[in-house]
Amino acid sequence: QTRHNTNAPIDFSAQHFEIQDRANRAILSGNVSIQQAEMTLDAARVTVRYTGQVIDGSPQVSRLDASGGVFIKRPDQTARAQYAVYDLNSRVITMLGNVRLTQGGNTIGGGRLRIDLDTGKAVIDGSSVGSSRSGETTTHENGRVTGRFSVPDRGQ
């Protein structure tokens, strides 16, 4: 699990773009797909906020707010939730609502996920904010985190 470079360029693709220059903001919708270095983020709607500066022709992004079936994929780790906030300044991704994190063969479900891209630490707890539809998720209404971990085979 290598350290993620949050300064890498970000490519966007979506069906609709709506740029609100005065608010330094753009709203993308319709199977939005965002790519940065080896991390991709797919969602139904993403709101992109700019810092206002422009470096070598491309505006600097300060924060991404995604909602609607957010799916983040990183090398050997994927996360799924209803909402996600990618704060590039603090280099932290926070996901909310029926979070499911899969790591190798292991899956963990919970209410809220916070991934620190510097230390590589992921913290899940049960305080779900968004409504939790039953669906396939394993989160429980009582705010518990559950999951399954496979035991690395030590071949004792």
Partner 1 sequence: QDLQDRSVEAPPPSQDPLPTDSEQIQFSADTFEYDSKADIVTVSGDVRLYRRGDRLRADKVVWNRKTGQIVATGNIAVTNPQGDTAYGDRIELTDSLRDGMVENMLVVLEQGGRIAARQGTRNEDGTIRVEDAAYTPCSVTDSKGCPKKPSWKITAAKVVYDPVKQRIRYSGASLEVFGLPIPLPAFSHPVGDTSDSGLLAPDVRYDRVNGFEAALPYFFSLAPNRDLTVTPHIFTSALPMLEAEYRELNEIGAFRVTGYGTYSRRSDDLLTSATPANSQNDFRGYIDAVGRYQFTPKWSVSGSVRLTSDDTFLRRYDISRDDRLRNNLNVERIDRDSYLSVQGWYVQTLRAGESQSMQPIALPEIDYRHRFANALLGGNVLLHLNTLGISRTEGQDTQRAFASARWSLRRVTTMGQEVTLTAYARGDVYHANNTLLTTVPSYRGEDGVHARAIGALALDVKWPFIGKFMNGTQRITPRFQIVASPKVNNMDIPNEDARAVDLEDSNLFALNRFPGYDRFEDSTRFTYGVDWAVSLPGFELNATVGQSYRLSTRPTIFPQGTGLTDRFSDIVGRTELRYRDFVSVIHRYRLDKDGLAVRRNEIDATIGSRKTYVMLGYLRLNRNIDPSLEDLRDREEARVGGRVQFTNFWSVFGSATVDLTDRSEDVLSLSDGFTPIRHRLGIAYEDDCLKLGLTWKRDYEDTGDARRGNSYLLTLAFKNLGR
Q: Which residue ranges make up the site for partner 1 (CB under 8 A)?
A: 1, 77, 101, 103, 105-106, 108, 110, 119-126, 138, 140, 143-154, 156
Work out how close the CB of 67 gets to partner 1 at its nearest, in angstroms, rounded to a whole number.
23
* CB distance 28 to 16 below 8 Å: yes
Cα 4 vs. chain centroid, distance in angstroms? 13
DSSP-derived letter for residue 21 is G
Work out how close the CB of 84 gets to partner 1 at its nearest, in angstroms, rounded to a whole number.
18
In the bound state with partner 1, the residue whose beta carbon lies nearer, of 82 and 137, is 137
Work out how close the CB of 115 gets to partner 1 at its nearest, in angstroms, rounded to a whole number.
9
In the bound state with partner 1, the residue whose beta carbon lies nearer, of 97 and 110, is 110
Q: How far apart are CA 16 and CA 1, in angstroms?
A: 34
In the bound state with partner 1, the residue whose beta carbon lies nearer, of 55 and 151, is 151
Q: Can you tell me which residue has the tokens 């030590």?
A: 154
Q: How far apart are CA 59 and CA 69, in angstroms?
A: 27
Q: How far apart are CA 58 and CA 81, in angstroms?
A: 29
Work out how close the CB of 71 gets to partner 1 at its nearest, in angstroms, rounded to a whole number.
19
In the bound state with partner 1, the residue whose beta carbon lies nearer, of 47 and 128, is 128
